[in-house]
């Protein structure tokens, strides 16, 4: 390695050269958000979903200190199967590179790297946000502050219901991050269709989202992201009663085992997947695939205009 600049996978280099639509994908979902062995299968399905819509997937992560936009299949497999892959937020990127680490990028790091690479659309499951009891722990995801100065569209199913959803929406407002529902004005709660809060804006088609991207570039005012909240249909959500029960248990375990910091999100997701006998996992996978499909449609509708 001669320097630490961003590397591009071959498929992404070709796509950039030919002006084809590209969708950024994160790797923390793969190494910390989903259990083995489903994580590898799902990572591949996400990429295929993007391709099926005529766009090119660019899964972002770090291999041996190289920050890569467009991991190849063997690299994705490495992040899915290796033990001890680091969870990288933006602040970790340079340190991890110097340490020649393998790392998975969070929503924050993936957004920042994607924007630096000129990619305007990113699909994930659910954003990080303000944790419950953040008034004591100060645990607020760097996803929020990073999105305040990163011009990208993040297609997600809202924020994980394990968070304080209301506080997260307040912080997004403060931080200048735009929020719109896809065909809804209710903010989704990840596993559940309705997270309990209204949002101001609704966008109804990939073309309308592409117009937002164009308007932002034309106006050249403000630098924040657009969060496009894409809820699951109600008949596909996790049963809300099962959800509430599992969440209450998970929060108790968290307190009992004194789990804090960046271990909180993977712990709670793992608890959901174990104690719902895979139901939450199936829902999580549906969320990601639906978001990847919508993000690809937006990238296709946007192709040719600046991010």
The residues assigned a catalytic role are 26, 160
Indicate the residue among 33 and 70 with the shorter CB distance to ligand PSU. 33
Tell me: does residue 33 bind ligand PSU (CB under 6 A): yes
Residues 236-265 that bind Mn ion (CB under 5 A): none
Residues 61-90 interacting with Mn ion (rule: CB under 5 A): none
Q: Please report, as residue ranges, which positions from 145 to 164 form the binding site for ligand PSU (by CB under 6 A).
A: 160
Contacting residue, 12, 24, 25, 29, with ligand PSU by CB under 6 A: 29
- Give, in degrees to the nearest 5, the angle at Cα 53 between 47 and 54: 90
In angstroms, the CA 89 to CA 92 distance is: 5
Helix (H, G, I), strand (E, B) or coil at 19: coil
- Cα–Cα distance for residue pair 111/122, rounded to 1 Å: 7
203-222: contacts with ligand PSU (CB under 6 A): none
Number of residues that make up the chain = 307
139 in contact with Mn ion (CB under 5 A): yes
Q: From the CB of 273, what's the least distance to Mn ion, in Å?
A: 19
Q: How far is the CB of 189 from ligand PSU (least distance, A)?
A: 12
**Cβ atoms of residues 81 and 56 within 8 Å:** no
Residue whose structure tokens are 């030919």: 18
Q: Is 25 within 8 Å of 58 (Cβ atoms)?
A: yes
- Which range in 27-35, 224-232, 249-257, 271-279 contacts ligand PSU by CB under 6 A? 27-35
Number of neighbours of residue 220 by Cβ within 10 angstroms:
7
Cα–Cα distance between 277 and 266 in angstroms, integer? 17
CA distances (Å), origin 94, targets 6, 103, 250: 11, 11, 33
> Smallest distance from the beta carbon of 112 to ligand PSU, in angstroms?
11
Residues annotated within the binding site are 87, 107, 139, 141-143
Give the CA count within 13 Å in the CB-facing half-sphere of 163: 29
Q: Shortest Cβ distance from residue 141 to Mn ion (Å)?
A: 5
Interface with ligand PSU, residue 92, by CB under 6 A: no
- Least distance to Mn ion, CB of residue 289, Å: 26
The residues near 174 (Cβ < 8 Å, ≥ 6 apart) are none
- All residues at 6 or more sequence positions from 13 whose CB lies less than 8 Å from its CB, including other chains: 70
Nearer to Mn ion (CB atom), residue 132 or residue 286: 132
Residue 141 interacting with ligand PSU (CB under 6 A) = yes
Span near ligand PSU by CB under 6 A; candidates 63-71, 92-100, 169-177, 261-269: 261-269
Q: How many whole angstroms separate alpha carbon 203 and alpha carbon 303?
A: 18
Size of the site for Mn ion (CB under 5 A): 1
250 near ligand PSU, judged by CB under 6 A? no
C-alpha pair distances (Å), 138 with each of 54, 129, 282: 42, 11, 31
Question: Taking CB under 5 A as the rule, does residue 143 contact Mn ion?
Answer: no
Residues binding ligand PSU (CB under 6 A) = 26, 28-29, 32-33, 106-108, 125-126, 128, 141-143, 160, 262, 265, 269, 284
Residues binding Mn ion (CB under 5 A) = 139
């Amino acid at each position: 390695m001669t320097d630490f600049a961003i590397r591009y996978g071959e498929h992404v280099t070709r796509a950039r050269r030919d002006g084809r639509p590209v969708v950024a994908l994160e790797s923390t979902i793969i190494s910390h958000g989903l259990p083995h062995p489903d994580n590898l299968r799902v990572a591949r399905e996400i990429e295929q979903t993007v391709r099926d819509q005529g766009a090119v997937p660019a899964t972002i992560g770090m291999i041996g200190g190289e920050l890569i936009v467009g991991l190849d299949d063997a690299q994705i497999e490495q992040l899915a199967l290796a033990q001890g892959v680091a969870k990288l937020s933006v602040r970790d990127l340079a340190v991890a590179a110097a340490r020649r680490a393998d790392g998975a990028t969070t929503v924050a790091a993936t957004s920042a790297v994607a924007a630096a690479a000129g990619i305007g659309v990113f699909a994930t499951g659910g954003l990080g946000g303000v944790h419950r009891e953040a008034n004591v722990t100060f645990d607020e995801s760097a996803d929020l502050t990073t999105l305040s100065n990163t011009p990208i569209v993040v297609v997600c199913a809202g924020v994980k219901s394990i968070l304080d959803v209301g506080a997260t929406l307040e912080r997004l407002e403060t931080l200048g991050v735009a929020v719109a529902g896809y065909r809804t004005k209710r903010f989704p709660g990840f596993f559940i269709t309705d997270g309990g809060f209204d949002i101001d804006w609704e966008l109804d088609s990939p073309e309308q989202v592409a117009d937002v991207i164009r308007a932002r570039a034309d106006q050249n005012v403000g630098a924040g992201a657009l969060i496009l909240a894409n809820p699951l249909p109600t008949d596909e959500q996790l049963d809300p009663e099962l959800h509430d029960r599992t969440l209450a248990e998970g929060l108790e375990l968290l307190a009992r085992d004194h789990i804090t910091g960046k271990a909180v999100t993977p712990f709670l997701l793992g608890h959901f997947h174990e104690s719902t006998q895979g139901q939450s996992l199936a829902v999580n996978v549906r969320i990601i695939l639906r978001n990847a499909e919508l993000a690809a449609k937006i990238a296709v509708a946007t192709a040719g205009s600046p991010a």
